[in-house]
Chain A
Amino acid sequence: MTTTERTAASHFLPSEEPLGLVSPDGKRVEQPGLPMPADEVLLRLHSGMVAGRRFDTQATALTKQGRLAVYPSARGQEACEIGAVLALRPQDWLFPTYRDSMAIVARGVDPIEVLTLLRGDWHCGYDPYRANVAPQCTPLATNTLHAVGFAHAARVKGEDTVSLVLLGDGATSEGDTHEALNFAAVWKAPVVFLVQNNGYAISVPLAKQTAAPSLAYKGVGYGMPSVLVDGNDAAAVHAATEQAVARAAAGEGPTLIEAITYRIESHTNADDATRYRERAEVEEWLERDPIARLKQYLTDRGLLTEQAQQEIDVRAEADAASLRERMNIDTVLDPAELFQHVYAEPTAALRTQAAELAAELEER
């Protein structure tokens, strides 16, 4: 190995400890090379996280009322969901997973359209081209490759678009992740990979997922800068993502960010996390709450008044009430639509089958 290559390898290495800008007790942390977002951004991160959590708890409540078939909660991961999405520019694209409903809402998609999937009405309820959000990916890691292809196409077309792909710790074991990291690095595609390491792939803890020093190291082998960040620190996630987006947009290629966070709830409402983890562990992470720490920091600095906080809470509550109300209206599904979107034009066989179903429905 030549000296140049050795220098290059170290350039890709993540830090030993996760980068942070605000400590769990709300104190400013100096982090060379990672600039603190502007006050105005911090305030948006805060209100976004409050709204995100309220959306999340509302969605969880809707599963209990039978209005949602299933909901994978992102509670505790608000700093990742909101921090990353707010670092995107309007023209950028988000490639989310099933756990990232909160991020999609933060991107501007109507929550009722986001929940179409989990309500069981259709596999995706929004037009991806309206808010530049790909459909939520249910198989793990397959969206990483779509993000790379999308970003590469943007470069081919001479467009300034960056793909942000969200994935979890479990997804880093899937082959597609590795192929995506490799393709992105070789093509210098404008992609940001954000691994939300929330500690568990359903029930399987990180220790059974990898023997790597950290998941961020997985970028190093493919030749891309890799960043390890405190995933409960919205300021740090936002700053790291914004830097990675800027690098990508400047033609410097992809970045892998590992954000260390924690899934406070079970995998979904259908899961029982007490079967595989101790309550004490959850309690410990509740102490590192992403919202409480940024709130503390903003309050201490006089940026967030009690009145402003109240307004944020009222708005989040109103959004939740509106969602609840709209989710309580039964949707009318048209079975004929089952055949309409399989191909650009339904085939002869599908037209026949659509007629069969229509006849069946008429008889009933």
Chain B
Amino acid sequence: MTATLDTKVSLAGALNRALADALSEDERVLVFGEDVGTLGGVFRVTDGLTDRFGEARVFDTPLAEAGIVGTAIGMAMNGLRPVVEMQFDAFAYPAFEQITSHLAKLRNRTKGHVELPVVIRVPYGGGIGGVEHHCDSSEVYYTHTAGLRVVTPATPADAYTLLREAIDCPDPVVFLEPKRRYWEKGTIDPTLRSPGLDRSVVRLEGSDVTLISYGGALGTTLEAAEAAADEGYQAEVVDLRSLAPFDLDTVAASVRRTGRAVVVHEASRFCGYGAEIAAQLSETCFHYLEAPVLRVGGFDIPYPAPNLERHHLPDVDRILDAIDRLQWDDSAPLADGEA
């Protein structure tokens, strides 16, 4: 296995490897959806899997998202572990009833008798110049539903590990893949397991401010942290990884150290994931906070057309602006000359 340690793979490649390893290790695992078979998925995440594992285990379905999720539920009730693909975020909406009314609730409905180890892979978020319905940040539709786990990797290593852990998880998992990061490369170690499917991690340590982000926005947040360092702010960056459940312990521990927090995501701010984090931090860290928790996110508009999306998506400058607004002047001076 050491040979794989130095292997540089893309995030999409890491997902492909995770699916292949899960398929070969557990015969209950099935992979299906639209164009996932012969074509290998529109993002090639399932490339070569039908050839390797056969049509019975990796296959194309009719074009019907509720059908894909609804039949996955039935298969899981009968002991299989389906991993299904929704082709794009907004194309998953026809499956919403099956996800929220059944996938999320059958365990509770039956007092634990029915277990549904289903993974729904959803390429989500913008930044790829996609036309309408191809760029939604749909995470809170799922995080608001009890019974679902919602995770999102931001690196190839996490893509591999989180997907393996999601497939092994006895609960249904909505697995959100930041499609703009599909082709970014990193190393993966298939032998490694993460601190937990429900744990967040500190990607960068810093003492002045905690930047909290996930998925497609994490890369931008790390860039902003680097730029902030040039301006004299040591930012700590937390990669949430798990959106539901929310790892308050990790986030709060960081914020208690730094006293300031900015949440960064692509999704609209109103009732966005950042609102929940801001609320929880104000409930649990109020006396540690030197400034209100700020949110950097998309505007409260429908996702814009490709030629305008750069104005909508949070960029480094917008994150730096938020850091600047954290009431530094009201607290101890940061540098000589500031009072």
Interface residues of chain A, those whose CB is within 8 Å of chain B, are: 122-124, 127-129, 134-135, 139, 142, 144-154, 156-157, 161, 163, 175-176, 179-180, 182-183, 186, 337, 340-344, 347-349
Contact = CB atoms under 8 A, between A and B. Distances in A.
Contacts of A343: 107, 147, 149, 171
Contacts of B76: 149
Interface string B34-65: 00000000000000000000001000011010
A275 B178 CA distance: 53
Interface in B99-121: 101-102, 105-115
A128 B170 contact: no
Contacts of B9: none
A349 B101 CA distance: 21
B30 interface: yes
Contacts of A176: 66-67, 70, 97-98
B165 interface: no
14 contacts: A124-B110, A128-B77, A129-B113, A147-B74, A152-B74, A153-B74, A154-B78, A156-B30, A179-B64, A183-B67, A340-B111, A341-B111, A343-B171, A349-B248
A149 B73 contact: yes
Nearest to B148: A343
A146 B110 contact: no
Contact of A153 (B80, B98, B169): B80
Interface in B110-137: 110-115
B7 interface: no
Contacts of B108: 123, 341-342
A180 B147 contact: no
A1 B238 CA distance: 61
B31 interface: no
Contacts of B80: 153, 156-157
A180 B69 CA distance: 11
Contacts of B114: 128, 135
A148 B71 contact: yes
Contact of A341 (B97, B112, B246): B112
Given A146-B102, A347-B198, A151 B248 contact: no
Contact of B67 (A153, A182, A342): A182
B70 A349 contact: no
A337 B111 contact: yes
A161 B171 CA distance: 25
A348 B249 contact: yes
Contacts of B149: 343
A153 B171 contact: no
Contacts of B115: 344
A124 B159 CA distance: 36
Given A142-B98, A342-B107, A342-B108, A175 B66 contact: yes
A337 B149 CA distance: 20
A179 B69 CA distance: 11
Interface size class of B (residues with CB under 8 A): 35 or more
Contacts of B97: 139, 142, 176
A202 to B, nearest CB: 19
A157 B111 CA distance: 26
A139 B101 contact: yes
A146 B66 CA distance: 11
Contacts of A122: 109, 111
Contacts of B106: 135
B61 A152 contact: no
Contact of A142 (B102, B111, B112, B169): B102
A350 B171 CA distance: 15
Main secondary structure of the interface of A (DSSP, over half): helix
A133 to B, nearest CB: 11
Contacts of A142: 70, 97-98, 101-102
B245 interface: yes
A179 B66 contact: yes
A175 B56 CA distance: 26
B322 interface: no
Nearest to B198: A347
Given A145-B67, A179-B66, A182-B67, A150 B110 contact: no
* Complex A-B, nearest 9 residue pairs according to Cβ-Cβ distance, in ascending order: A149-B74, A145-B70, A149-B71, A179-B67, A153-B78, A150-B74, A146-B74, A344-B170, A153-B75
Contacts of A186: 62
Contacts of B56: 156
A127 B113 contact: yes
Contacts of B147: 342-343
A144 B67 CA distance: 9
B79 interface: yes
A241 to B, nearest CB: 20
Contacts of A127: 110, 113
Contacts of A180: 67, 70-71
B66 A134 contact: no
A145 B112 contact: no
A341 B115 CA distance: 10
A63 to B, nearest CB: 22
Contacts of B169: 344
B146 interface: yes
Contacts of A124: 109-111
B72 interface: yes
Given A135-B109, A145-B74, A149-B77, 5 more contacts: A128-B113, A142-B70, A152-B74, A342-B108, A344-B107
A183 B72 CA distance: 12
B70 A149 contact: yes
A186 B82 CA distance: 18
B302 interface: no
A180 B61 CA distance: 12
B94 interface: yes
A110 B30 CA distance: 35
A154 B77 CA distance: 10
A152 to B, nearest CB: 6
A146 B198 contact: no
B248 A348 contact: yes
B170 A146 contact: no
Interface string B267-286: 00000000000000000000
A9 to B, nearest CB: 19
Contacts of A144: 70
Nearest to A130: B113
A337 B170 CA distance: 19
B112 A179 contact: no
B145 to A, nearest CB: 10
